[in-house]
Structure 1
Amino acid sequence: MSTGEPTPGLRERTRRAVHREIAEVGMALFLEHGFEETTIDQIAEAAGISRRSFFRYFATKEDVVLGDMVDRGHRIGAALAARPPGEEPWAAVRAALLALRDEGPVDPAADLGIARMMHRAPSLRTRSLEKHLSWQEILVPELARRLREERGFDGVRAEHRAAAVIATALTCLDVATETWLRLDGGASLEDLWDEAVAAVRA
């Protein structure tokens, strides 16, 4: 079945493949040696490209880790839009966030290493917060639409409630991730998010 999206040409498919390969090489180096200890030159050398070529694909070293964060936000937004009509807002947001984990195989050890690296590197933490703001810009309008159409809230009230839910959901995700790291992955991230949300809503 066609998705309605044009099939990318050979040049674009090649670009995406190279982008993915550089990201995979960079992530492997970050996890082995540390984010701050790894240089762009080392990534370029390991990927078999020049430093100049690296900057054709990534503006900064942080983008190797966080470069697809905005795209993830759009995928969460699409998952939220696809939730059944009338679904309780928090349940819809939870399901949309979990949709990312269904995109591919889960590697708990790698996920833990990446989360730990992001927690420790100040530049990554700062950029991650900036990217989360972009998620709010994507998700709030969709949740507000649902609240207008399904709950009868006017525009301003719908935006207000949607902004509160999304901001709280993302903050709970950050809190759950920090607890998950302190527990060294000994608890489910989803369960920790549920617990954080329950504490806020109690």
Structure 2
Amino acid sequence: MSTDLRELDVIAAEPAVAESDPPVPVAALTGATSAEIQRLLLDFAVRRAREGVRVVGVIEEATCSDGVCGSLVLRDLAGTRRIPISQNLGRESTACNLDSSGLAEACGLVQAAIAAGADLVILSKFGKVEADRHGLVEAFQDAIAAELPVVTSVAPPLAAAWAAFAGPLSAPVAADAAALEAWWTAQVRARAGV
């Protein structure tokens, strides 16, 4: 059954998924730093790809020089591209340096990869930009509309916005390899009808 994700705010008001229902398609990782979660996502993507799973999506990487991390890039999991999502606003700037054009480019890459065929979508995070319905939000929508399993992360301050967006399609998953593997095993079994 396909879900029109443009109406997720309405779906969020529906009752939670019962235990006898199939596992929820979206794992929202919580309980670790962003850097730890991004490493976990990369390791998970590598394991799945080695198994022949068609993994698409993006993970966040910080570029560091002399131990100081400055700009961020999104690493395309379906290819070799790294898309800058930080812009240099100067040393004195205190404004957000997120580059919305980089996010739009990354979103387009993920959407194209989903359309070309995927088994699993990994999206670095549901952040402030996505809470405002921009950034990678259309990639989230396309992935769930295609009924694909999705793994992402959600910081505690954005939990309410995430719940309003994803509703019963998502469940929190501890940011550790064992919990993520258990979620994936449930996805594989449900898809196999086991």
TM-score normalized with structure 1 length: 0.29
Name which one, 1 or 2, has greater alpha-carbon Rg: 1
Please give the TM-score of this superposition, normalised by the length of structure 2: 0.30
User: Whose helix fraction is larger, Structure 1's or Structure 2's?
Assistant: 1
